[in-house]
Structure 1
């Protein structure tokens, strides 16, 4: 499902990722933990195609010599920006600590956005979005805007938005970091329900030990490298 090899990332003189190797199977829930600054979010952004890796040598960082990033049998590093953007929207879903819902749109409209970007029909999209919101216990909140929803409800809307295009992989960066304990526990259980229901692969960065230990596999990042790949 995800195969990354020899992933490096530099920011000026700082080497953030130092040759990361990683293999994640389809339907697996993997947590990534580590101290702040270890490179977790940078790795997630590269795996999620939101950023690109550098080569193994800083002086040649505009090439991908020796690096490999394959997701769902697609060679990500060979895609141009337009192809990559389309692949990302159809195959990958994202959940962040701060839900990043658009405040002027309702819950239903926020969920529909990725499908509209993919040019899916409005009627079909709204039907699927309502089904997801109902599944997530939000059928009575579909016409509410984000400022009318609790933190837990907003995050569940963000989960529905991540699922609308039926992606193969969900990337989550501190998804419960901004939630109270009860809402966080519900969200954690939801990830496993979604995996069982829809078969998605989850890659989750978290400081929450409970969530990290619930995962099928916990990876630890230390100073730009990962253990137990």
Structure 2
């Protein structure tokens, strides 16, 4: 599902990622933890194709069996829209649009008809307990409700991979707990793969696997996962 090797990233002379290797299988929920500045968000942005590794020719990044480094910009944008969903700490909802409209935006970008996009969006909002809030704008929703709208937006195109960057960092304890449970419900219902960067110890420990980043590297290995995949071939 996600295979990365020798991912390096420089900002000027500062090396943020120092050769990250990663292997995540389909349907897995993986948390990524580490101190601030360890490179977690930078790695997530590269895995999500929002940024590029500095050493493209000496590294690989395969998502859904596609080497995304080889894609041209328009192809990459389409791939991102169709295969990847993003959930951020700050929901990034557009304030002038309703919950329903915000959720539909990625579907409209994909070219989905208004009727089909709204049907899918209403199904997701209902699943997330927001059927009574579809016509409310973000400033009329609680923090937890806004984040659930952002989750629905991430799911609208049925992506196979969801990347979440501190998704509960801006929520109260109850809302955060509900969001954490929701990720597992979504995985069980829709089969998505989740990669979650978090400082929340409870969420990190709930994941199928926890990866720790220190100074631009993942310090624990993926040996167990590789063995499991090999056993199933």
| TM tier relative to shorter chain | over 0.9
User: Number of residue pairs matched?
Assistant: 221
Q: Name segments (4+ residues, structure 1) moved above 6 Å.
A: none
Tell me by how many angstroms 1:66 deviates. 2.0
Asked whether 1:119 is paired with 2:111, we answer: yes
CA distance in 2, matches of 1:162, 1:107: 13
Asked whether 1:7 is paired with 2:7, we answer: yes
Q: TM (normalized to structure 2)? A: 0.94
Q: TM (normalized to structure 1)? A: 0.96
One of 185, 189, 197 as aligned partner of 2:177 = 185
- Can you list the C-alpha shifts for 1:6-34, whole angstroms capped at 9, x where unaligned? 00000001000000000000000000000
One of 212, 218, 227 as aligned partner of 1:220 = 212
Q: What residue is the counterpart of 1:61 in the other structure? A: none
- Can you list the C-alpha shifts for 1:120-157, whole angstroms capped at 9, x where unaligned? 01101100000000000000000000000000000000
CA distance in 2, matches of 1:68, 1:90: 21
One of 49, 65, 76 as aligned partner of 1:73 = 65
Q: What residue is the counterpart of 2:46 in the other structure? A: 46
Q: How does 1:89-168 map to 2 (within 5 A)?
A: 89-168=81-160
Q: What residue is the counterpart of 1:197 in the other structure? A: 189
CA distance in 1, matches of 2:160, 2:120: 17
Task: Give structure 1 stretches of 5+ with no counterpart.
Answer: 56-63
Task: Give structure 2 stretches of 5+ with no counterpart.
Answer: 223-233
- Can you list the C-alpha shifts for 1:199-218, whole angstroms capped at 9, x where unaligned? 00000000000000000000
| Residue aligned with 2:85, SS | strand
Tell me by how many angstroms 1:65 deviates. 2.5
| Residue aligned with 1:147, SS | helix
Tell me by how many angstroms 1:54 deviates. 1.1
